[in-house]
Structure 1
């Protein structure tokens, strides 16, 4: 290339410099985005989801192990749908964490076996696709009842072994989509009247392994869609005080798992004589992705997908995983 004078050469040199600078900035930006959102984080195991050879590889399933000192430094792929942060010594989750990090497509979130003590109104904000939330074996000191109100796809909450304090007034959880609630092994000795009052479409309630001596049927009046109540390994005794619970179960066709009074040759009472709902009002529940044989059989790390194999801590879970939520599926078909 020929230049007529020095100014032309200088102008061309400056244009080349600016072009190279812009390309470098674009490359750095892309590289930063890839590093932050499209690569598997340290201490994590990611499984690639790719429907075809030509389709972009996406990390949709992320399992993290090890101590996470500050979750804000954990940059997860934005397309993550299944996230396992169990046993990572988490102590807190900042408000708006998931939405601030662009991780808003989660359908399943496992936070079990951590040190979470506080769940506030904004902890899970933005997770509009969330269906399964596992909080098992955290030591929850405060749980904001409305913290899951806007997670409108949520169907399962597991709070086993959390010792979650029950509110004296109002509902423990407010959700118009929840199907299963597990508060087993939480050292619950009594149930306030309104503790489940804002769960109108609940199908399965697990209060097993708690030192509960009495269940007032007034507590269950708002659970008009309930199909199963698990009271196994509680302090309920087969006496006259329990007769009202049996009558309620029979009247509304609710399965009482672990019912202490023997019914014939069975150790639990199963009532199917009447249906309390004769209309088609209410939501049409999709078939559960994760199957649960009953509320007491679901354990942590038991999610299974067609494109994902998740390692479990207990080898016995391998057999139970294949037989999960069949009871819940049958209940929705009755």
Structure 2
């Protein structure tokens, strides 16, 4: 089968679409999914650049892709949630495998796909959407902060675009940071105010650092009393410093480690299905051009998600 393989560490040229061995049949509670589309995330870029700890990358071939949309084609004997023919979206584990014609995953990592929404959109939902949802509601407890002031750093990215919308749905007053050319995009997602990254003023009840680039000291100047800053980079040095300072009585600081919770994914699916949450897709690339997708995402030009289309036509 065709798959996007990481051939080494470096620039976009080290990812390629090539033939890999077919997957075996699903076992236990696994489902075999014929993939329609998979999104390109910061995790893919980080692995390719060599900037993330990734012992599993030693396995060859290593297939990139950490979320997908597709159709179930076979089920293991312990599967109870799905049947062949079901359309699903899923968050994969650290072993990747989403950017391929087929993927094997445990049923608990999947949810029924939103009805009536193209696969090229739904593929962008699982990783970025779950990260935003879990950062805001599980880590920052936004649902317990009525009328909160929320700052989303990197609001035009995949995680940030979902975070703006989810915070607005929770009744928050949202400020987003974005470059000049993307401010209209962020405002259309519901942000009351959109500013440059170097023009942040005031304090906030919740700060979501979606690029995971803010120094730990930023919590002290950005947070209102009782506020919390959530970072998306649990393994970074600044996160370790922030967690230590918070434990010693400093400003609230926490990190989000995205979890494949099927209930959370189903919640996002319902929001998309009812039109309350939009999956903002910037551009769709064919599976044959993963280097182009990587180049576009890391160029900074993308507003929202970048997706790889695995299948051009609906399956029979």
| TM-score normalised by length of structure 2 | 0.28
Q: Greater relative contact order (Cα 8 A, min sep 6): structure 1 or 2?
A: 2
Name the structure with the higher helix share. 2
| TM-score normalised by length of structure 1 | 0.27
Name the structure with the higher strand share. 2
Highest CA radius of gyration, 1 or 2?
Answer: 1
